């Protein structure tokens, strides 16, 4: 988890009760390519807790101020449209035969509990729960069989979308890219804890009402196929983020559409990762 502690972002490993801070940021930790500092921080922190020794680098998870795992990605976030057949249908589109890639800029990213701004530029604000992949190892032309070894871990992204802008500008970029339109978190789970990313339940709630409830088993293109397709002739780097598409149940697909309103609270939950909660606020 990335938390704000002592007035700055810090990276910590979490055991469900405490956060054991050990580095400045996830990007440089991924680049160093070793989990040892995290494991050592956990072991040392637990020894200190047992000995009842106070230590500034061990903080309670409850009340910790969480940030997005990578608060400011170095590149645009890679995204995939129509990667669940039922969601393609609810949007009136055919199921694609190749992955539909687009991106969101780094300025979209916010963390858990941070407000999603209902910008005046849109009247059709929508949510999309997505499994997001954090790349751990550089590669180009990555074969399907080796794709998961290029993953560092997994988190949750809400691919917030202004449907009216998405339609009006034809390319999806504008409607997907307003400030606060990529809430991410609450944690990154290392790939060793999620050996099969195609078997995770995703649930999106708006004000407690379940709107999306599906499994990553229903993806049209699996995580490994997406990585293989995206990396064809194009280098993926440590810290790159790939959001893998959303299942059916978005506001656009309901009759009548139930757009997000100021005051709503959206909660995106993925089994084994956690819950990403954000309120919708006026600009």
- Interface positions with Mg ion (CB under 5 A): 128, 159, 246
Shorter beta-carbon distance to Mg ion: residue 180 or 246: 246
Nearer CB in complex with Mg ion: 83/231: 83
Residue nearest Mg ion, CB atom distance: 159
What is the rounded distance in angstroms from the CA atom of residue 41 to the CA atom of residue 47? 10
Whether residue 224 contacts residue 242, with contact meaning beta carbons closer than 8 Å, is answered with: no
What is the nearest approach in angstroms of Mg ion to the Cβ of residue 178? Answer: 14
Strands (E), the chain: 2-5, 8-14, 18-23, 58-60, 65-67, 77-81, 100-104, 109-110, 116-117, 125-126, 129-135, 151-158, 161-162, 182-190, 201-206, 209-215, 241-243, 265-270, 274-281
- Cβ-based nearer residue to Mg ion, 128 or 269: 128
Return the CA Rg of the chain: 19
Tell the smallest beta-carbon distance from residue 189 to Mg ion (Å): 20
Nearest approach in angstroms of CB 120 to Mg ion is 23
Nearer to Mg ion, 2 or 246 (CB): 246
Closest distance between Mg ion and the C-beta of residue 229, in Å? Answer: 16
């Amino acid at each position: 988890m990335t938390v704000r502690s002592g007035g700055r972002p810090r990276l910590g490993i979490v055991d469900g009760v405490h956060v054991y801070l050990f580095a400045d940021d996830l990007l440089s930790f991924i680049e160093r390519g070793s989990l040892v500092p995290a494991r050592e921080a956990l072991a040392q922190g637990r020894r200190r807790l047992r000995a009842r020794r106070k230590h500034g680098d061990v903080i309670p998870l409850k009340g910790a101020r969480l940030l997005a795992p990578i608060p400011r990605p170095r590149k645009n976030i890679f995204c995939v449209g129509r990667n669940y057949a039922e969601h393609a249908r609810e949007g009136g589109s055919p199921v694609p035969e190749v992955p539909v890639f687009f991106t969101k800029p780094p300025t979209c990213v916010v963390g858990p509990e941070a407000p999603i701004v209902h910008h005046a530029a849109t009247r059709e604000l929508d949510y999309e729960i997505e499994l997001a992949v954090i790349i751990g190892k550089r590669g180009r032309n990555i074969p399907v069989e080796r794709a998961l070894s290029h993953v560092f871990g997994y988190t949750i992204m809400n691919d917030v979308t202004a449907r009216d802008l998405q339609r009006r500008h034809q390319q999806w970029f504008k409607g997907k890219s307003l400030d606060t339109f990529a809430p991410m978190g609450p944690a990154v789970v290392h790939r060793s804890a999620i050996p099969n990313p195609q078997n995770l339940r995703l649930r999106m709630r708006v004000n407690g009402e379940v709107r999306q409830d599906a499994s990553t088993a229903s993806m049209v293109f699996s995580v490994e196929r997406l990585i293989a397709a995206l990396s064809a002739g194009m280098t993926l780097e440590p810290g790159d983020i790939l959001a893998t598409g959303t299942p059916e149940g978005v506001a656009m697909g309901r009759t009548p559409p139930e757009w997000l309103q100021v005051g709503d609270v959206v909660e995106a939950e993925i089994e084994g990762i956690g819950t990403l909660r954000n309120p919708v606020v006026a600009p």
